[in-house]
Amino acid sequence: MSRSVLLIIGGGIAAYKTLELIRRLKERGIASRAILTKAGAEFVTPLSVSALSGSKVYTDMFSLIDEAEMGHIQLSRSADLVVVAPATANLMAALANGIADSLASTALLATDKPILMAPAMNVRMWNHHATQRNLNTLKADGVFFVGPNDGEMACGEYGPGRMAEPEEILGAIERLLAVSGPLEGVKALVTAGPTHEPLDPVRFLGNRSSGKQGYAIADALARAGAETTLVSGPVGLSVPARVKLLKVETAREMLAACQSVLPVEVAVLTAAVADWRPETAANAKIKKSENGPPAMKLTANPDILATLAAGSNRPALLIGFAAETDNVVANAVDKRKRKGCDWIVANDVSGDVMGGERNSVHLITAKGTESWPELDKAEVAARLVARIASALEKAA
C-alpha cells in the first residue's frame, strides 16, 4: 500500500534538512507534498522542494489557483500523516492555541490525520515556559514528537533545540505509518515508571524506576501494530510514536487510568508502584522539630495487577513485572500465583537496572521459567512482544 505525508516546512535554518528528508522518503516509496511557510521560503526554495518531491509546493492560503486545484481542507487530509519540520515555536504555539492565520496553521487545525512535529529553535526558546506549556498541551492532544536533540546551535549556543536528523524523523514517520504487524487489531495497555505518593506539597514517597523498560515495551507493541496506551508515572522520557500517553502521579491515579483503558487483549504492567502511601498528606510543608522526625502512618495502595486479574474486564494476557533484589526467580514464581496473572517478568534490581540501558530478566509462566541473557532494554521489549504475539496467535 502506498503511503504519503504532508510536509509543513517552518522557518528555521534546519529547513535545509527537509530536502534530505524528502529524498529519503522517496527512496522508501513514501510520497510527499509540501506546504512551505513564508519564513521557511527564506531558507529553502519552492523549486528545490518541488524538484525533490515531484509535487506542487503550496505557500498561500488565499491563492485562488491553489484553492481551485486543492482546497486547504482537502490538502490537510490528503496524506496519511502530517509532518512539521522544522516545527518552530510559532507553529507549535499556533496549533496548541487553535490559531489559524496561515496555510500551515490552518492545515494543522483542519487535518484529521496524525501529526508529527520535529521541533527546532534556540535553546532558550525551547526551554521557555510558554514553549514547554505548548509542548505539554500538544502531547496531551495526541501530537507526536521527534527530537529536539542537544547540540550547538547556529547562533553559537548549546543545548536542546537542534532538529532531529533526517534519519531520525524518517524512522518516526515509518513507525507512524506502519499499518500491519503481528499485533494488528490488538489493544494493549502498558504501565511504566514510578508512582509518587505525596507526604506534603514538596515531598513524596517514590522509587528509582526510570520507566525505560516500560516505554521500550510500549514502543515495541506499537511497532508490532497494537493499539497501545501507556499509563506512565513521573519520568523524563519521550512518548513513543503511535502510543497514547496517560500521565499519572499516584498509585490510585494509575489504577483509575488503567481501568479507563479496559477492555484490552494485552496488559503489561511494568510500573514500580509504591506499595504504601501516607494515610494523610499534609497540606503544608512539614517543618523540622526539636522533637525529631514526625510520626507517619502508612496505608496500603491498591494492588493494580491483582485488581486487573480479578476484574470483569481481565485482559486475555496479563503480564506483571517483579523487581527483586534477592531470590529473584522464587519470589517472582510466588508473585505470579498470588496476583493471578499469566506471566511475570522478573529482574534483579540490586544494581543499576532501574536507571541503566540493559536488563537481564526471567520470564515466568505456568509452564516454567525461561531465563534470558542480559540485553538492551529495547531488545528485551522486542523479545517479549514476539512472545506475546506468538501466545495470542496460538490462543486464537
Looking at the annotation, which residues are catalytic? Answer: 155
* Helix/strand/coil percent split, the chain, to 5: 35, 25, 40
**CB–CB of 206/247 below 8 Å?**
no
Bridge pairing between strands 187-192 and 158-162: unpaired
Taking phi over 0 as left and psi of -120 to 50 as alpha, with beta for the rest, 24 belongs to: alpha
**CB–CB of 239/228 below 8 Å?**
no
Dump strand ranges (E) for 193-297: 197-198, 204-205, 227-232, 243-247, 266-269, 276-278
Q: How far apart are CA 151 and CA 169, in angstroms?
A: 17
15 contact partners, CB below 8 Å, separation of at least 6: 9, 40, 43, 44, 86
Q: How far apart are CA 121 and CA 139, in angstroms?
A: 18
Neighbours of 159 (CB within 10 A): 16
3-state class of 251 per DSSP? helix
List the Cα angle 16/166/375 in 5-degree steps. 155
Neighbour-count burial of 45, counting CB atoms closer than 10 A to its CB (0-12 exposed, 13-18 middle, 19+ buried): middle
